[in-house]
Amino acid sequence: MAPNHEKYRRLIDYCRELPPMPTAVVHPCDKSSLTGALEASRIGLIAPVLVGPRDRIEAVANENGLALGDVPIVDAPYSQAAAAAAVQLVREGKAEALMKGSLHTDELMGAVVKRESGLRTGRRVSHCFVMDVPRHDDALIITDAAVNIAPTLEEKMDILQNAIDLGHALLFKEVRVALLSAMETVNPKVPSTVEAAALCKMVDRHQISGALVDGPLALDNAIDPDAAKIKNIDSPVAGHANVLMVPDLEAGNMLAKSLSFLAGADAAGIVLGARVPVILTSRADSMVTRLASCAVATLVARARRESGNPVR
């Protein structure tokens, strides 16, 4: 594993000592998604149930020399049917996580958030990247860069709480959230600064809990202590954030991809706020990123069990 995977390596090694997590792998009908699921199974991160067209899954395995062994397959004729069947496995208590295969994210999430038959909770569903950034000491959570396009202030409350809960599941010693904007002062002409200030007051009133939260903060003074010092920002978060909450999906997507393609970062992806964690993978993900995403989901599922909120 390359040096810049050090944080992921620690995460994966830790989770290999835990019981494999029962995981419904949805429509693993290409080499990368099937290989990722089988490798995560081989090293003990997950206990997969493959959900999709049996003939196609077996054909992909044969074409690529992959041994399915005794991994169970739930036959579903097409991608949307596979998503529905995987959600049903969760509802029946047979899976504690979902893992995306070779189907569109919208198809999977459509089944997850379906009002009657899905996996909704009282919490807004949101996405987090857990990023392994070279030369940055700790893992960095970025939210939301994949699900909520232009979240309202009310929706941001849930996005923030989901990210805080993830930080605790990942055993952060202290969760420090920076609410990002283009500046660190409240400017009525920049709505994200006003919403950041409102979220901070919600933290003060215990409407959101479990973290040190500050904002608005610009990216530089959120993660660089010298930048925060130059701006005279007196805050336990400024310069030391390990969670970055962005104002909208466009900002989050650009931030995450900038770190990936310009700084060589890896980005494990997970969706929170449903009854179980949803492992979102991309065709471009490396194997270590896929395994790290499984490890993140394992810790989220464990935290849910230990909190007294098991899958029902």
Closest listed residue to residue 277, CA positions, set 71, 74, 128, 92: 128
**pLDDT value of position 137:** 84
Over residues 4-32, the mean pLDDT reads: 93
- Give the pTM: 0.93
Over residues 173-187, the mean pLDDT reads: 97
Over residues 146-173, the mean pLDDT reads: 97
In the β-sheet with 126-132, what is the strand arrangement from edge to edge? 73-75, 46-52, 21-26, 97-100, 278-280, 266-272, 126-132, 140-143, 243-245, 176-180, 212-217
- Does residue 4 have a pLDDT over 70? no
Structure tokens at 198: 């409102």
**pLDDT value of position 280:** 92
Structure tokens at 168: 């605790």
**pLDDT value of position 138:** 85
**pLDDT value of position 159:** 98
**pLDDT value of position 309:** 61
Domain ranges of the chain: 1-121+274-312, 124-268
* Segment holding 15, helix H or strand E: helix 6-16
Q: Which amino acid is at 190?
A: V
Closest listed residue to residue 131, CA positions, set 16, 302, 238, 246: 246
pLDDT in tens, 44-88: 999 999 999 999 999 999 999 999 999 999 999 999 999 999 999
Over residues 133-144, the mean pLDDT reads: 91
Q: Which residues contact 9 (CB under 8 A, 6 or more apart)?
A: 1, 288
What fold characterizes domain 1-121+274-312? Rossmann fold (3.40.50)
**pLDDT value of position 136:** 85
Over residues 33-53, the mean pLDDT reads: 97
Three-class DSSP category at 307: coil
**pLDDT value of position 39:** 97
- Does residue 201 have a pLDDT over 70? yes
- Does residue 312 have a pLDDT over 50? no
- Does residue 150 have a pLDDT over 70? yes
In CATH, which of 3.40.50.2020, 3.40.718.10, 3.40.50.170, 3.30.70.20 is domain 124-268? 3.40.718.10
- Does residue 310 have a pLDDT over 80? no
Over residues 106-129, the mean pLDDT reads: 94
- Does residue 129 have a pLDDT over 80? yes
- Does residue 101 have a pLDDT over 90? yes
pLDDT in tens, 281-304: 888 889 999 999 999 999 999 998
pLDDT above 90 coverage of the chain, percent: 89
Average pLDDT in the chain: 94
What does DSSP say about strands 266-272 and 126-132: parallel, antiparallel, or unpaired?
Answer: antiparallel
pLDDT above 70 coverage of the chain, percent: 97
- Does residue 1 have a pLDDT over 80? no
pLDDT band at 305 (very low <50, low <70, confident <90, very high): confident
